[in-house]
């Protein structure tokens, strides 16, 4: 059974139609560019979150090592 050109199985589940939509997007150069830009955007946003944590850990590690170096220099051995 078809509903406006869409098989009833696909009409019942929007997620089942996703591969068909992606095939349509990837059929044109502009669609490929759109998919690539969306993928890069997701990667950059995830990278921002990871880097926002990573730089804080790096600062803490630098301060800890600097403190240990200072203590070992002042106390004469560590």
Residue with tokens 């669609």: 31
pLDDT of residue 25: 81
pLDDT of residue 24: 80
pLDDT of residue 8: 56
Task: Find out whether 62 and 55 touch, Cβ atoms under 8 Å.
Answer: no
Structure tokens at 19: 């591969």
| Consecutive 10-residue averages of pLDDT for the chain (78 residues) | 54 60 82 94 96 95 96 82
């Amino acid at each position: 059974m078809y509903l406006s050109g869409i098989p009833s199985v696909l009409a019942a589940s929007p997620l089942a139609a996703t591969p068909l939509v992606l095939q349509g997007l990837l059929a044109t150069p502009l669609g490929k560019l759109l998919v690539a830009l969306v993928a890069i955007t997701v990667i950059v946003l995830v990278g921002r979150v990871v880097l926002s944590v990573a730089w804080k850990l790096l600062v803490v590690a630098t301060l800890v090592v600097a403190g240990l170096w200072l203590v070992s220099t002042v106390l004469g051995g560590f």
